[in-house]
Amino acid sequence: MTDQKPYLTGHYTPVVDEVTATGLTVEGALPPELSGRLVRNSHNPKPGVTPTHWFKGSGMVHGLRLRDGRAEWYRNRWVRTPALDGAPYLTEHGPDLTASAAGTHVIEHGGRLLALCEANLPFELTPELETVGAYDFGGTLRTAMTAHPKADPVSGELHFFGSSPVPPFLTYHVADAKGRIVHSAEVPGASASLKHDFAITRGHVVFVEGSVTFDPAEHSGIPYGWKDEQAARIGVMPRGADGARAIRWFSVEPGNMLHVSNAYEDSRGRIVLEGPTVDREGFALSWNWWTGRPGRGSEPVSRSYTRRWVVDPVAGTVDERIVDDLPVEFPTLNEEYLGADNRYQYAVSFPDEAGHGGYGVVKYDRVTGARRIRRVGDARMPSEALFVPAADAGAEDDGYLLTVVTDLKQDASQLLVLDASGLDRVATVHLPHRVSAGLHGSWIPDEGRGIGRG
Ligand SMILES: [Fe+2]
């Protein structure tokens, strides 16, 4: 029953073809200031291919071009890596960093559009989403690259890391605004713990090692598993050339965090870090889904609750607590506030394991504690909601949320544009076919660091 893998069914059913469509139908008034391209990646194996793990499915990138109140084009393309044609990651010479699913994220930096998967090199795409090839920053990147690099809104630098199950376990990199790697350093004290995401603040880099670590006995194709003996820790190091030497590791409660919501220094110099986190059972339920194994786990995200850590470097202590009872993932924010104390946070909610709750776009006000949920309709599921600031934005939440909705009843998808202030619908763009539910993407505005005007 290989066709019953959960990541090949329902909202996640792979798209079977590549299309290009122009002049898309728009309902409502698409704000003219939304001029740019939305790109979104997801694991989307070719027809007839059944990956042994959700994350082994080859990446397909979807692009939508908006300009002057119109939706000019949509196109979708597989990322053409050796893995798309079946090349193995592990070879007799070691890992092939070009054998990438390239299905986790897609970003733009330094004029290059890059599809990312954390065990591999990035794959460069053209503005029309055709694959250029593996990209190693002109020969200067010799590790894998996380799928969650952080663009510093102040400097324009791109901070990222490469992790590995064998030494060096963790290497930190900084690329300047033009995309040249200007700093690389091995991070002392790291382990083989799974590191999917990390954080930067204005003054620090924050790494998170949870309870999930390298497990060669795991044969799903992703050799990681929960181990109680794996110490969960947060690593805090100053930014700057000599920062890695000064890293300090702080013990925290067992858990696993996939995504950071944000991190910053508070007025007392403490590091505040937030992100949805699972416990042992939540990880097991999620892993069952990710691998299509029998057993409970009806969603790719189970028991994923937002946790807040407050690290006091002076006292050497960490205060941590769960701050919300809603299962969420895909945290986003106004990225001008990345690394700073943000008031507003966004996420996608999932039904809990009993089926309570449901899919929705969630907005948190971290000052008042208010939580607002925007449902998108029966049998419909939103994806990661990207914040795009309004022209001449004043308030932090003065802007739009862009989310691609998958509709099972109509076998269709739309881009839903919400007003980020009240979560009201501003416009809907009808896409020419269903877009499989998936992972991460980026809004690439025409102004500033945009990469062309396709
Ligand atoms: Fe991710």
**Could you tell me the distance, in angstroms and rounded to a whole number, from the CA of residue 424 to the centre of ligand 1?**
27
Closest CA to 381 of 113, 42, 76: 42
Q: 2-445 has which CATH code?
A: 2.130.10
Task: Give the pLDDT score at 449.
Answer: 40
Q: Are 344 and 367 in contact (CB under 8 A)?
A: no
Q: What's the pTM value of the predicted model, to 2 decimals?
A: 0.96
**Could you tell me the distance, in angstroms and rounded to a whole number, from the CA of residue 411 to the centre of ligand 1?**
25
Element (H, E) at 289: helix 280-291
- HSE-CB at 278 with a 13 A cutoff on CA atoms is 24
**Could you tell me the distance, in angstroms and rounded to a whole number, from the CA of residue 104 to the centre of ligand 1?**
6
**Could you tell me the distance, in angstroms and rounded to a whole number, from the CA of residue 146 to the centre of ligand 1?**
9
**Could you tell me the distance, in angstroms and rounded to a whole number, from the CA of residue 23 to the centre of ligand 1?**
31
Closest CA to 150 of 306, 338, 276: 338
Task: Give the pLDDT score at 295.
Answer: 77
Rounded to whole angstroms, how far apart are CA atoms 139 and 133? Answer: 13
Task: Give the pLDDT score at 453.
Answer: 33
Q: Is the dihedral of CA 185, 186, 188, 194 positive or negative?
A: positive
Q: Are 171 and 212 in contact (CB under 8 A)?
A: no
Task: Give the pLDDT score at 454.
Answer: 36
Looking at residue 175, what DSSP letter applies?
E
Q: What is the DSSP code string of 78-128?
A: E---GGGGT--SEETTEE-TT-----SEEEEETTEEEEE-TTS--EEE-TT
**Could you tell me the distance, in angstroms and rounded to a whole number, from the CA of residue 282 to the centre of ligand 1?**
17
Closest CA to 60 of 439, 408, 413, 316: 439
Rounded to whole angstroms, how far apart are CA atoms 350 and 345? Answer: 16
**Could you tell me the distance, in angstroms and rounded to a whole number, from the CA of residue 261 to the centre of ligand 1?**
11
pLDDT one digit per residue (tens) for the chain, 454 residues:
445 899 999 999 999 999 999 999 999 999 999 999 999 999 999 999 999 999 999 999 999 999 999 999 999 999 999 999 999 999 998 899 999 999 999 999 999 999 999 999 999 999 999 999 999 999 999 999 999 999 999 999 999 999 999 999 999 999 999 999 999 999 999 999 999 999 999 999 999 999 999 999 999 999 999 999 999 999 999 998 889 999 999 999 999 999 999 999 999 999 999 999 999 999 999 999 999 998 777 899 999 999 999 999 999 999 999 999 999 999 999 999 999 999 999 999 999 887 788 999 999 999 999 999 999 999 999 999 999 999 989 999 999 999 999 999 999 999 999 999 999 999 999 999 999 999 999 999 997 543 333 3
Beta-carbon count within 10 A of 120 CB: 25
**Could you tell me the distance, in angstroms and rounded to a whole number, from the CA of residue 143 to the centre of ligand 1?**
18
Looking at residue 25, what DSSP letter applies?
-
Burial of 152: CB neighbours in 10 Å, binned 0-12, 13-18, 19+: middle
**Could you tell me the distance, in angstroms and rounded to a whole number, from the CA of residue 440 to the centre of ligand 1?**
7
Closest CA to 417 of 136, 78, 69, 55: 69
Looking at residue 285, what DSSP letter applies?
H
Q: What is the DSSP code string of 235-296?
A: EEEESSTTGGGG-EEEE--S-EES---EEEE-TTSPEEEEEEEE-HHHHHHHHHHHHT-SSS
Task: Give the pLDDT score at 255.
Answer: 98
**CA angle 108-144-139, nearest 5°?**
75
